[in-house]
Amino acid sequence: MMSLALLFYCLIGAGAYLLVLSLLLDYLEHKMKLSHQIPSHLVEPAGLGASLVNFMMEFLFFVAIPTFVYSFFYFLIPLSGIKAGLAAALFAFVLGAAPAIMGLSVRVKLPMPYLSYMMLSLLFKLGGSLTVIAYLYSL
């Protein structure tokens, strides 16, 4: 049976983790000037609107959908706790983000430091969010 309180705690906890990490990674990207090698007409101007839309998309794909899926399959998953979260994050990253970004790197001339930073930040966001969700379900 799905617990709505636990679902709410997972959304809040993983969402808070994602918000803090997103702000930190955006700040680091700005300080490292990773997007300065990309032509200015291809880069979305930094601002509250762009950051909010980006956070909402990441919240949907890294927190909301995994929380609902994990709540449905919690009783069927052989692992529990942090191991389950990290395993799910690595599985999703290897099958989802890594091929897409590698394909993008071949077709579009983006700087490799930017793409590497993007892949690493996606792995940290996805891994941390799913770890928080799995940990809360193990309590």
Q: What is the DSSP string of the chain?
A: ---HHHHHHHHHHHHHHHHHHHHHHHHHHHHHTGGGGS-GGGSPPPSHHHHHHHHHHHHIIIIIHHHHHHHHHTTT-S--THHHHHHHHHHHIIIIIHHHHHHHHHHS---HHHHHHHHHHHHHHHHHHHHHHHHHHH-
Q: Which of 41-50, 58-67, 128-137 has the lowest mean pLDDT?
A: 41-50
What's the pLDDT tens digit per position in 17-28?
A: 999 999 999 899
Cβ burial of 39 (10 Å; 0-12, 13-18, 19+) is exposed
Q: Which of 21-30, 41-50, 85-94, 111-120 has the lowest mean pLDDT?
A: 41-50
Q: What is the mean pLDDT of residues 73-78?
A: 74
Give residue for tokens 């919240």: 59
Work out the pLDDT band at 11, boundaries 50, 70, 90: very high
Please, what is the average pLDDT of the chain? 86
Pairwise CA distance, residues 126 & 48, whole Å? 22
**Residue 3 φ then ψ, to 5°:** -95, 120
Tokens of 99: 């091929």
The pLDDT value recorded for residue 1 is 59
The pLDDT value recorded for residue 121 is 93
- pTM for the model: 0.86
What's the pLDDT tens digit per position in 96-127?
A: 888 888 888 888 888 888 888 989 999 999 99
The pLDDT value recorded for residue 125 is 94
Residues 6+ apart with CB under 8 A from 24: none
